[in-house]
Amino acid sequence: MVSAAGAATIMLAAASYGLIAAPWGVMLGLFLHMFWHVLDGADGDLARLTGRSSAHGELVDGICDYAGHIVLYVTMGVIAASLIGGWGWALMWAAGASRVVQAAHYEGTRRQYQLAVYGTPWMGSETPSTDTRGRRHPFVVYYLWLTGLIVPHGAALQMAVQAPATRAPLREAMRQHGKALLARIGLLSANYRTLAVGAAMLAGRPHWYFLFEIVVLGVILIASLTRVRAVMETVLVQAGASNTLR
């Protein structure tokens, strides 16, 4: 219910940006978009506090986030297309694809760290739920495939977490290098995107946000991939799990 409320909140933010004249529409949209952050954090915390966290809950959360932001991006794309024509749609698609990859890298890296240090399970570390025919949900298959591509040495880290001989040294190595791993990855979080959306909409130029996501955050992603790969390799070697590297 909380995840669904979060999706509805983003859709209402999109409606405010698209249907209510600035600056009031932008202010309301930004408020609603920021309130989504509260709900997005609350659903996972509520599940853990009540002992109901699961891969299925994470799946629902992910689908709701995707649904809400698709509506937001399409709304911004409509406005951008009215200003710069077909380029508005092209930038919207490129920005949407950029967000998917950047968010997968950000969330996947954080969750791998939490798994190694705190033993916090996530979709990638649990046996995914299947239907009566033993099939995984398509979103699970897609998400794990994308995370595997965009989080360097993620599979090797999970093998090291599961092995009794490397679990404890891996935890200590990850704690030691945690700051280097996570220090600047926060620039890819949704926080900065929300503020950038508000700024672009206040200026009446949603395509500026698309360019920011494609170019600026794209450069940050490339730098983060390089850093995460190097740190992960160091951690695995220090933990005695270098044989799991590919």
What is the residue whose two structure tokens read 């994470």?
58
What pLDDT, on a 0 to 100 scale, did the predictor assign at position 19?
Answer: 93
What pLDDT, on a 0 to 100 scale, did the predictor assign at position 129?
Answer: 55
Question: Considering just the CA atoms, what is the radius of gyration of the chain in Å?
Answer: 19
List, for residues 21-76, the tens digit of each pLDDT value: 889 999 999 999 999 989 888 877 776 777 766 666 777 888 899 999 999 999 99
What are the tokens at 127?
């046996």
What pLDDT, on a 0 to 100 scale, did the predictor assign at position 188?
Answer: 92
Count the helix, strand and coil residues of the chain and give each as a percent rounded to the nearest 5.
80, 0, 15
pLDDT: is 34 or 184 the higher one? 34
Q: What is the mean pLDDT of residues 230-243?
A: 85
List, for residues 138-148, the tens digit of each pLDDT value: 877 777 788 88
Do 236 and 167 meet the contact criterion of CB atoms below 8 Å apart?
no
Q: What is the mean pLDDT of residues 224-242?
A: 88
What pLDDT, on a 0 to 100 scale, did the predictor assign at position 54?
Answer: 65
Structural domain that includes position 173: 2-244
Lowest model confidence (mean pLDDT) among 9-18, 104-113, 204-213 = 104-113
Residue 103 host element (H or E): helix 86-118
State the chain's mean pLDDT as an integer: 87
Q: Rounded to an integer, what distance in angstroms lies between the CA atom of residue 102 and that of residue 215?
A: 12
What pLDDT, on a 0 to 100 scale, did the predictor assign at position 244?
Answer: 65
Lowest model confidence (mean pLDDT) among 3-7, 81-85, 240-244 = 240-244
List, for residues 196-229, the tens digit of each pLDDT value: 999 999 999 999 999 999 999 999 999 999 999 9
Res. 102 pLDDT band, cuts 50 70 90: very high
Q: Rounded to an integer, what distance in angstroms lies between the CA atom of residue 129 and that of residue 140?
A: 9
Res. 180 pLDDT band, cuts 50 70 90: confident
- The count of domains in the chain is 1
Residue 116 host element (H or E): helix 86-118
Can you give the CATH number for the domain in which 73 is found? 1.20.120
Long-range Cβ contact pairs of 225-230 (< 8 A, separation 24 or more): 225/105, 225/150, 225/152, 227/180, 227/181, 227/184, 228/105, 228/109, 228/151, 228/152, 228/181, 228/185, 229/152, 229/153
